[in-house]
C-alpha cells in the first residue's frame, strides 16, 4: 500500500523564502489534472500556510513535473520572482538532473549516451523513441551508467539533457531495458504500489535569488529493491 503525501508527512528536502523542494512519493500528482485528485502543489500550500501561519492564499509556482508513477525531487517556487528565474534555468538547461532507474534487462553497454527522436501519442499518453527524425518528433538526449547489478535487475544512473514527455521511460524501453513496473513501456508486470522504479535522485542549480550553488538529493522510496541499490 503506497503512502501518498499529505501536509503532515511531506518530505521536505530544502526550504527557504523563495523555494521549497520536496521528495515526491509514488502516486503523488504534481499538479491538478482531470482525475480531480488532490495534487502535491495543494499539499505544499497547506504545509506552508500552517507552518508560517499565513493568512489568505499562499503563492506557489510549479516549476517542473514528474510522472505520477515516479518518485523523487520536485521543486516549487514560493515567490513570483523565483518562479520566473527558475523557469529560465530549466528552459535554458542550466540545471543538472540525475535520475536512478531499475531496469529488467541490463543494457549491453555499461555506460552510453542515448539520442533518439521522441514522438508523442496523445491518445494513449505515450512517447515512441525513433532512431531517425520523424515528423513532429523532438530530439531526446540522456546518458546512463550501470551503478549496480542485482539478481534480476540493473540499476542505472541517468543524466538528462532534454526534458521530453516520458523521455527516460521511452528511451530505455527502446534499447530493450524497460523500467521495472512500467507496463506502458514493456515491463512484464506491474509493481504492487502501481508505481515504476524511476526516481529523480539529484538536482543541482544556482539559487535564483541568493546565487548559491545548490545540490539536493532525494532518498529513494522504502522497498527491498531500492534498498539493495
Residue of 52, 44, 33 whose CA lies nearest to 6:
44
> What letter would DSSP give residue 59?
P
Beta bridge partners, 181, equal: none
Q: Is the dihedral of CA 143, 194, 138, 131 positive or negative?
A: positive
pLDDT single digits (tens) 6-55:
878 999 999 999 999 999 999 999 987 777 789 999 999 999 999 999 88
pLDDT single digits (tens) 138-182:
999 999 999 999 989 999 999 999 989 999 999 999 999 999 999
pLDDT single digits (tens) 20-31:
999 999 999 998
Cα–Cα dist 22/24, whole Å: 6
Instruction: Please report where in the chains the cell 521511460 appears, as a residue.
Output: 169
pLDDT at 2: 65
Model confidence at 1: pLDDT above 60 = no
Buried b (16+ CB within 10 A) or exposed e, 46-75: ebbbeeeeeeeebebbbbbebbbbbbbbbb
% of the chain with per-residue pLDDT over 90: 90
Model confidence at 105: pLDDT above 90 = yes
Cα–Cα dist 164/119, whole Å: 9
Amino acid at each position: 500500500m503506497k503512502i501518498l503525501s499529505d501536509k503532515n508527512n511531506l518530505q521536505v528536502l530544502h526550504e527557504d523564502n523563495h523555494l521549497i523542494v520536496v521528495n515526491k512519493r509514488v502516486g503523488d500528482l504534481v499538479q491538478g489534472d482531470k482525475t480531480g485528485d488532490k495534487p502535491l502543489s495543494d499539499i505544499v500550500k497547506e504545509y506552508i500556510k500552517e507552518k508560517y501561519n499565513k493568512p489568505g492564499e499562499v503563492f506557489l509556482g510549479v516549476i517542473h513535473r514528474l510522472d505520477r508513477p515516479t518518485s523523487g525531487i520536485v521543486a516549487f517556487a514560493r515567490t513570483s520572482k523565483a518562479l520566473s528565474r527558475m523557469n529560465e534555468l530549466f528552459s535554458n538547461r542550466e540545471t543538472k538532473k540525475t535520475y536512478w532507474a531499475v531496469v529488467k534487462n541490463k543494457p549491453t553497454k555499461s555506460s552510453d549516451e542515448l539520442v533518439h527522436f521522441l514522438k508523442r501519442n496523445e491518445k494513449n499518453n505515450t512517447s515512441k523513441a525513433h532512431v531517425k527524425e520523424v515528423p513532429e518528433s523532438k530530439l531526446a538526449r540522456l546518458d546512463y551508467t550501470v551503478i549496480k547489478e542485482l539478481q534480476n535487475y540493473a540499476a542505472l544512473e541517468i543524466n538528462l539533457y532534454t526534458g521530453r514527455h516520458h523521455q527516460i521511460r521511452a528511451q530505455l524501453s527502446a534499447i530493450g531495458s524497460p523500467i521495472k513496473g512500467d507496463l506502458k513501456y514493456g515491463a512484464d508486470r506491474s509493481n504492487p504500489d502501481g508505481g515504476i522504479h524511476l526516481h529523480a535522485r539529484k538536482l543541482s542549480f544556482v539559487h535564483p535569488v541568493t546565487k548559491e550553488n545548490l545540490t539536493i538529493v532525494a532518498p529513494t522510496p522504502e522497498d527491498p529493491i531500492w534498498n539493495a541499490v
